[in-house]
Amino acid sequence: MDRFDCMRVFARVLERRSFTAAAEDMKLPRSTVTDAVKQLEARLGVRLLQRTTRTVTPTLDGEAYYRSCLSILAEIEAAESTFLGSRPKGLLRVDVHGTLARHFVLPHLPEFLRTYPEIELFLSEGDRLVDLVREGIDCVLRVGIPQDSEMIARRIVTLPEVTLASPGYLEAFGTPETLEDLVAHRMIGFRSSATGGVLPLVFAVNGKMRETSLPMALSVSAAESYYAACLHGLGLIQIPRYHAEPALGSGELVEVLPGFKPPSSPVSVLYPRDRQLAPRVRVFIDWLVHIFADAR
pLDDT digits (tens, 9 = 90+) for 216-252: 999 998 888 999 999 999 999 999 999 999 999 999 9
- Closest alpha carbon to 190 in 229, 248, 243: 229
Domains along the sequence of the chain with CATH: 3-82 (1.10.10.10), 90-149+267-291 (3.40.190.10), 161-263 (3.40.190.10)
The predicted structure's pLDDT at residue 276: 66
CB-CB neighbours of 43 under 10 Å: 10
- Return the ∠ at Cα 94 (arms to 188 and 118), rounded to 5°: 150
DSSP class of 182: G
- Closest alpha carbon to 167 in 69, 254, 48: 254
The predicted structure's pLDDT at residue 77: 73
Distance of CA 47 to the CA centre of its chain: 34
The predicted structure's pLDDT at residue 130: 59
Torsion of CA 270, 211, 168, 99, to 10 degrees: 0
Of 155 and 145, which is predicted with more confidence? 155
The predicted structure's pLDDT at residue 128: 57
The predicted structure's pLDDT at residue 287: 94
Contact 189, 218 (CB under 8 A): yes
- Closest alpha carbon to 98 in 73, 121, 66, 123: 123
d(CA 77, CA 278): 7
d(CA 281, CA 154): 13
Q: If pLDDT is split at 50, 70 and 90, which confidence band does 280 have?
A: confident
Q: 17 — phi, psi (to 5°)? A: 55, 35
Task: Encode pLDDT of 111-152 as tens digits.
Answer: 999 999 988 888 888 665 555 655 667 888 888 777 666 778
Q: HSE (CB half, 13 Å, CA atoms) of 88? A: 21
Q: HSE (CB half, 13 Å, CA atoms) of 8? A: 19
Q: The pTM is what? A: 0.71
- Closest alpha carbon to 12 in 2, 22, 24, 27: 22
Average pLDDT over the chain, rounded to an integer: 87
295 pLDDT exceeds 90?
Answer: no
DSSP H or E stretch at residue 227: helix 223-231
